[in-house]
Amino acid sequence: DGGITQSPKYLFRKEGQNVTLSCEQNLNHDAMYWYRQDPGQGLRLIYYSQIVNDFQKGDIAEGYSVSREKKESFPLTVTSAQKNPTAFYLCASSIRPEPQNPTTQYFGPGTRLLVL
């Protein structure tokens, strides 16, 4: 089955700790995205990558970092600089968008991050 997997489903972070959320896709998509979801605020874009070894900041990148060393994988690290990390994190992927031709994003099941 093709799809997007995110792990773990729940993640606990201690104060001052960095944690990494995994996102893997086997859809052969070039583009991948990370969103943060808070109640009543919809989804906000953290980082996105349109091709391997390249990524761009989204609207709320402060306190987060990413890498894109492989087409299938786009891990997100929540650093200690992110002061309010408790949220639901969603990864998505799509075929590479082009100007005047956006593409559909497909979402993983999400990871809920909680601070101890």
Site of interaction with other proteins (CB under 8 A):
4, 6, 31, 33, 35, 40-45, 48, 50, 58, 88, 90, 92, 94, 96-110, 112
Provide the minimum distance between the beta carbon of 37 and other proteins in the complex, in angstroms, as a whole number: 9
Q: Which is nearer to other proteins, 4 or 78 (CB)?
A: 4
Among residues 34, 54, 40, 29, which one has the least CA distance to residue 104? Answer: 29
Q: Edge-to-edge strands of the sheet including 64-66?
A: 4-7, 19-25, 76-78, 64-66
Provide the minimum distance between the beta carbon of 100 and other proteins in the complex, in angstroms, as a whole number: 5
Query: How many CA within 13 A on the CB side of residue 95?
Result: 6
Provide the minimum distance between the beta carbon of 88 and other proteins in the complex, in angstroms, as a whole number: 8
Q: Which is nearer to other proteins, 82 or 105 (CB)?
A: 105
Tokens of 88: 């639901």
